[in-house]
Amino acid sequence: MTEPDRPSLDCIFRPKSIAVIGASRAPTSIGREILHNLVNNEFNGPVFPVNAKSPMVQSMKAYPSVLDIGDPVDLAIIVVPREAVPGVIDECGRKGVKGVVVITAGFKEVGGPGIQLEDSVVEKIRQYGIRMIGPNCMGVINTAPGVSMNATFAKAVPTRGQIGFVSQSGALGEAILANARDLGLGIAQFASIGNKSDVSGNDLLLYWENDPNVSLILLYLESFGNPRRFTEIARRITRRKPILAVKAGRTASGARAVGTHTGALAGLDVAVETLLEQCGVLRVSTIEEMFVYAQALTNQPMPKGNRVAVITNGGGPGILATDALENLKMAVAPLSEGSMKALREVLPAEATPANPIDLIASARADRYRAAVKIAAADPNVDALLIIFVSPIMIDAHSVAQAIVDSLQDCGKPAVACFMGKVGQEEGLRLLSAAGIPVYQFPELAAEALASMDRCYRLVTAEEGAKVRFDGDPERVGRVIEGVRKAGRTELTLMESLDVLDAYGIPCGRTREVTSTAEAIAFGVEAGYPIVLKISSSKVSHKSEAGGVKVDLRNGDEAGAAFADLKKRLPRFGPGARILAQTMLKEGREVIFGVTTDVHYGPLAMFGLGGVYVEVLKDVAFKILPLTDLDADRMIRSIRGFPLLQGVRGEGPVDLGILREVLLRVSQLVTENPGMDSLDINPFIVSEDRDGSAAVDARIHLKAVAAEDQKAPAAASRARAGKNARPAKPRLVRQP
């Protein structure tokens, strides 16, 4: 697939002819290295050096300009001073060049005049319909036999393979290609995309989506150009091809922290982590970790579960592997009785037929062959981790051959760990050639299997259904309009509860009280016990500031509590009010929240709530809108979920109301885009929905003019209907 109305990237990755504009005779120049790599790697087409000062470059005829080349040119590699780039683009456009790779740096990455220069380049490629990678990049590679193009200045020559690799950093390109070659990882196509002024990571994902030569995609990204588009594309691709991503900048600004619990907890990197997980992309922390995982994902089938058989000729390495697997939430598979019996028949008495299967140090190829074959056939085993510590008297090559033979057509993933280096070279080459990844230590092998299991679970997870409730966006619109007219961006507690109620989110009965008599009257009317609290936009933690009085059981207690709170009012700032609420007698405290990330949009949060939420930080995040399964996963993923299920005689809370509130919050924020953040904390959830309600809430609006919200609000009202009333949810299956 390609973006609509945009030329295909074939002009960059499958050109029939290439001009190197800025080809040089200088031994250490980038222009010379690119020309050398194209010729040395036997590009399957003509290469035209362009050098305005020399008629010959590397024994090849050179041309003063691309316009002087008599033959057609599909792709131009541009390595000229930055001020000359716009003029070169003009010449390429007049020549009919379809694609350019601008290696030259000094554009928007340096700011100032570089930004304007890059803008002029982009304007010109749009004018001529040219596709461009760069500027400020390392180049591109396509190892396909019919292309054989290495249009980079890298020293490392990549091995042909099935990996599509995008790097936003040119500086990392050399190291990436060198390490991939050392590990035996073959590259199908590589692109250093630099400033992404035209061709982006999303474009390359689309280009590789249906390319049979690319079976695994690796990404090194420093920023997302269009996160929503990335999510749409990646979610589709990961169903068929794994994507591994190193997203740099974990400590850069993520969601903007505002005066809410959700904003503070979302911080930094949560939005990126959530986005990648929701679209099935496996995120890794380092390039090294990416390569560890890529070795396993390139040639091995996905595991259908997390049960692993460990086969070893040393007890210590077997224990290390077992510990690593269990720490990574992988299971050491209990072998079937049939497998145990078969192993006893082929192993010496001192060997261990239970998992981990210890063949002991004397194990030769025949023992490995039998044990691997039995374990691979066991229905309780989803994957194999095979360890060989090479004693001097055992031939590593024969053991490797036995492993390869035993895994033929087993259909289950296997990784190997060959420890020690004496006499292993041929065995390692044999395993690599058979597509069996080899690691030096058991922990790395365990990590590789765990990554495969995680990847499988990500890409096979059901997306779930969108759930729509009838809400009242007109009522919400009126509240927001009133807040904006008052010159505020934060709603009061009463206003926040009004907004929640408009979307059917249960709220505790609440009333503003201005006197002792009103406080006592509320208690009589609503029924004791009650709560009195100060509502203030200036104080987030009311309990810590002495602004909450709970479990008031009669008029005397209510009156005394009101008098005390009234004395405290001035310290809570102008506009502070005293509210009375019914007190929910039983239940556990949870938090619902939404914060808006400037790049990724609204981000929902759920977790254990109350006064300790920012201490425990036991929360889960998802990017809106949520499906029913998203909501279920958020609830079940927190560490404190067992507390919601009931412990030590407590009954389980109503999980259905938690799921419903999450979905109603998702719809509320999605249909009313003027909201910047929302906190419901605490929400008291009990064993039945009638005893569950929000007792405190804070809503912040985006700091924009009220008129900017009219169009979205009108669209929301049109969708929901002018006189909408709460009704049963209806499920709308995603296409």
DSSP 412-446: S-EEEEEES-TT-HHHHHHHHHTT--EESSHHHHH
In whole angstroms, what is the distance from residue 153 CA to residue 393 CA? 46
254: pLDDT strictly greater than 50: no
Determine if the pTM surpasses 0.85: no
Binning pLDDT at 50, 70 and 90, where does residue 642 land? Answer: very high
Paired with 75 in beta bridges are 18, 99
Residues 601 and 623: beta-carbon distance below 8 Å: yes
**If we measure between CA atoms, which residue out of 136, 429, 185, 30 comes closest to residue 176?**
185
In whole angstroms, what is the distance from residue 631 CA to residue 656 CA? 10
Binning pLDDT at 50, 70 and 90, where does residue 259 land? Answer: very low
**If we measure between CA atoms, which residue out of 360, 243, 266, 258 comes closest to residue 312?**
360
> Rounded mean pLDDT of 599-627?
85
User: pLDDT digits over 338-347, tens only?
Assistant: 999 999 999 9
Sequence-separated (6 or more) residues with CB below 8 Å from residue 657: 506, 685, 689, 692
602: pLDDT strictly greater than 70: yes
> Rounded mean pLDDT of 656-660?
96
Binning pLDDT at 50, 70 and 90, where does residue 546 land? Answer: confident
In whole angstroms, what is the distance from residue 245 CA to residue 252 CA? 17
Q: What percent of the chain has pLDDT over 90?
A: 69
> Rounded mean pLDDT of 674-698?
92
Binning pLDDT at 50, 70 and 90, where does residue 423 land? Answer: low
723: pLDDT strictly greater than 80: no
> Rounded mean pLDDT of 386-406?
90
Binning pLDDT at 50, 70 and 90, where does residue 47 land? Answer: very high
255: pLDDT strictly greater than 80: no
76: pLDDT strictly greater than 80: yes
Is the preceding peptide bond at 356 cis, omega within 30 degrees of 0? yes
What is the per-residue pLDDT for 443? 96
Query: In Å, how far are 84, 304, 412 from 238, measured between CA atoms?
Result: 41, 16, 20
727: pLDDT strictly greater than 90: no
What is the per-residue pLDDT for 721? 43
Q: Is 362 in a helix, a strand, or coil? A: coil
Binning pLDDT at 50, 70 and 90, where does residue 544 land? Answer: low
3: pLDDT strictly greater than 70: no
Secondary structure element (H or E) that encloses residue 40, with its range: helix 30-40
Residues 201 and 225: beta-carbon distance below 8 Å: yes
What is the per-residue pLDDT for 95? 97
What is the per-residue pLDDT for 273? 85
What is the per-residue pLDDT for 92? 98
Binning pLDDT at 50, 70 and 90, where does residue 711 land? Answer: very low
Average pLDDT, the chain: 88
What is the per-residue pLDDT for 169? 81
Amino acid at 113: P
In whole angstroms, what is the distance from residue 151 CA to residue 160 CA? 15
What string of H, E and C letters represents the secondary structure of 289-347?
Answer: HHHHHHHHHHHCCCCCCCEEEEEECCHHHHHHHHHHHHHCCCEECCCCHHHHHHHHHHC
User: pLDDT digits over 137-177, tens only?
Assistant: 999 999 999 999 999 999 888 889 999 999 988 778 788 88
> Rounded mean pLDDT of 16-43?
94
User: pLDDT digits over 438-484, tens only?
Assistant: 999 999 999 999 999 999 998 888 889 999 999 999 999 999 999 99
> Rounded mean pLDDT of 691-696?
92
In whole angstroms, what is the distance from residue 520 CA to residue 556 CA? 8
What is the per-residue pLDDT for 712? 43
What is the per-residue pLDDT for 610? 74
DSSP per-residue codes, 444-471? HHHHHHHHHHHHHHHHHS----EEE---
Query: In Å, how far are 588, 594, 647, 656 from 663, measured between CA atoms?
Result: 20, 12, 26, 11
What is the per-residue pLDDT for 168? 84
Between residues 226 and 29, the one the model is more confident about: 29
What is the per-residue pLDDT for 541? 65
User: pLDDT digits over 88-122, tens only?
Assistant: 999 999 999 999 999 999 999 999 999 999 999 99
Binning pLDDT at 50, 70 and 90, where does residue 392 land? Answer: low
718: pLDDT strictly greater than 60: no
